[in-house]
Chain A
């Protein structure tokens, strides 16, 4: 199974609504997670099970999708949200990450 993300790079402004797409080459039902990685930092789990928000993650982040197409939405982009976002196919061996989407100013 392959994961692709689009776009690879996204330029946005504070307050924008941002949507990132992750596509799987085969049906992965809801076995998908999203991580945020800021420069020089470790990835941070945002969402798992395609749509479950990890505890402590702001509610402006949401996930949706099932099967082969998934989206991560940031409802109102904040300055601290400029980062690279990765999707991950869960419960597979070996675990697989998408190539990433960089959200820049």
Chain B
């Protein structure tokens, strides 16, 4: 059964770098069938797609965050990671990782349980 599990820094100060990892079990991030995505949700608000990495290592980012965001993969550990620099209070959110379909319809399924990141001085 495919499972995704986020982990990483939960409390940050403004200007610090957010680092999260998503450990994948039950599938390989090296398989050519899926994208591996990060999506976030500020408290009480909607969903925002951040970016993804393909099995090739190619990455695609939300233009609103592109200058601050890096997504990378570690095939040996079967995980992918997110780094977001220069965080502000606006980056406070639950961060989810999710597998993305690359077939006819690019939906997200399944999702990790999410991890809350709080940015506060």
Contact = CB atoms under 8 A, between A and B. Distances in A.
Task: Note whether A and B form a binding pair.
Answer: yes
Interface stretch (B15-23, B72-80, B106-114): B106-114
A88 B107 contact: yes
Interface of B: 46-49, 60, 62-64, 96, 98, 101, 104-114
Contacts of B109: 44-45, 54
Given A43-B47, A86-B47, A97-B47, A91 B114 contact: no
B49 A95 contact: yes
B49 A44 contact: no
Interface residues of A, number: 24
A20 to B, nearest CB: 15
Q: Which 8 A-B residue pairings sit nearest by Cβ, starting from the closest?
A: A42-B111, A45-B109, A97-B47, A95-B49, A48-B107, A94-B62, A33-B107, A48-B105
Contacts of A100: 46
Contacts of A67: none
